[in-house]
Amino acid sequence: MLRRVATMFLLTAIFVAPAHAQGTELLPGVTYEKTIEFTPHGAVALHVITAPRPGDQSGLYQLAPVLAGGTVVGGRERVTQIERDVSSQATVAGINGDLFGAADGHPAGVFMSGGTLEHPPLASRSSIGIDAAGAVHIDRVRFFGTWKGSGQRRALNGLNVQPNPGQAILFTPAYGPRAPVVAGSAEAILQPFPAAAPNVDLTATVTAVGANGGEPIPPGGAVLQATGSLAAKLQAEAPVGTPLTARLILQPAWTGVTAALGGGPLLVRNGVPVFRSLEDFTNDQVTAREPRAGVGQLADGRVILVAVDGGQPGYSVGLTAYELGQAMARLGAVTAAGVEAGDDVTVAFDGQLLNHPSSRAGERAVREALLVQYFGVYAAEPPLALLTGEPGSTEEPLSYKLVRPSLVTAQLIGPNGVAHVLEANAQHDAGSYPFAFSAFDAEGTWHWNVTAVDDLKRTSTIDRTFRYDTTLRALVAPKPARGTATFRFTLARPATITLRIETRGGVVIRALPSVSLQPGAQSLTWDGRLPRGSKAFGGAYVAHLVVASEVGTSDITASFAFTRVAR
Residue 321 neighbours by CB under 8 Å, 6+ apart: 265, 267, 277, 281, 285, 286, 287, 292, 338, 341
Q: Please tell me the distance from the alpha carbon of residue 421 to that of residue 458, in angstroms, as a whole number.
A: 22
Neighbours of 469 (CB within 10 A): 27
Q: What integer pLDDT is reported at residue 319 of this predicted model?
A: 97
Query: Model confidence at 444, in pLDDT bands (50, 70, 90)?
Result: very high
64, 342, 353 from 363: Cα distances, Å? 21, 12, 8
Residue 322 has pLDDT above 50, yes or no: yes
278 pLDDT band, cuts 50/70/90, is very high
β-pairing verdict for 485-491 and 520-526: antiparallel
Q: How far apart are CA 172 and CA 219, in angstroms?
A: 8
pLDDT at 463: 97
At residue 106, the pLDDT reads 82
β-bridge pairing 42-51 and 303-308: antiparallel
DSSP assignment string, 198-209? TTSEEEEEEEEE
Q: What is the mean pLDDT of residues 496-514?
A: 95
pLDDT of 101 reads 67
Residue 2 reports pLDDT greater than 50: no
Partners of 368 in the β-ladder: 67
Per cent of the chain over pLDDT 70 is 95
Q: Is the pLDDT of residue 505 over 50?
A: yes
Q: What are the residue ranges of CATH 2.60.40.4070 in the chain?
A: 472-563
pLDDT at 102 over 60: no
Closest listed residue to residue 95, CA positions, set 424, 454, 338: 338
pLDDT band at 4 (very low <50, low <70, confident <90, very high): very low
Q: Across residues 188-212, what is the average pLDDT?
A: 97
pLDDT per residue as tens digits for the range 216-251: 999 999 999 999 999 999 999 999 999 999 999 999
Whether the per-residue pLDDT at 15 is higher than 80: the answer is no
Q: Do 446 and 467 form a contact (C-beta atoms < 8 A)?
A: yes
| Residue 84 buriedness (CB in 10 A; 0-12 / 13-18 / 19+) | middle
Q: For the chain, what is the mean pLDDT?
A: 93
Binned at pLDDT 50, 70 and 90, residue 86 comes out as very high
Q: Which residues contact 566 (CB under 8 A, 6 or more apart)?
A: none
Q: How far is 43 from 18, CA to CA, in rounded Å?
A: 16
On whether the 472-563 domain is CATH 2.60.40.4070, my answer is yes
> Which fold would CATH assign to domain 386-468?
Immunoglobulin-like (2.60.40)
Q: Given this model, what pLDDT does residue 74 score?
A: 80
For residue 5, pLDDT over 80 is answered with no
Q: What's the confidence (pLDDT) of residue 103?
A: 59
pLDDT digits (tens, 9 = 90+) for 391-431: 999 999 999 999 999 999 999 999 999 999 999 999 999 99
Which residues have C-beta within 8 Å of that of residue 549, sequence separation ≥ 6?
A: 469, 471, 493, 494, 495, 496
Mean pLDDT of 17-35: 77
**Binning pLDDT at 50, 70 and 90, where does residue 16 land?**
very low
What's the farthest any 2 CA atoms get from each other in the chain? 95
Q: Where in the chain is the domain with CATH 2.60.40.3880?
A: 386-468
Interacting residues of 185 by C-beta distance below 8 A, sequence separation 6+: 163, 211, 212, 213, 225, 226, 227, 231
pLDDT at 22: 56
- Stretch 185-189: mean pLDDT: 98
Question: Sheet harboring 368-374: ordered strands across?
Answer: 61-67, 368-374, 91-96, 347-349, 352-353
pLDDT digits (tens, 9 = 90+) for 527-557: 999 999 999 999 999 999 999 999 999 999 9
Mean pLDDT computed over 13-33: 67
- Sign of the C-alpha dihedral computed for residues 386, 391, 394 and 398 taken in this order: negative
CATH fold of 142-251, please? Jelly Rolls (2.60.120)
DSSP letter assigned to residue 366: B
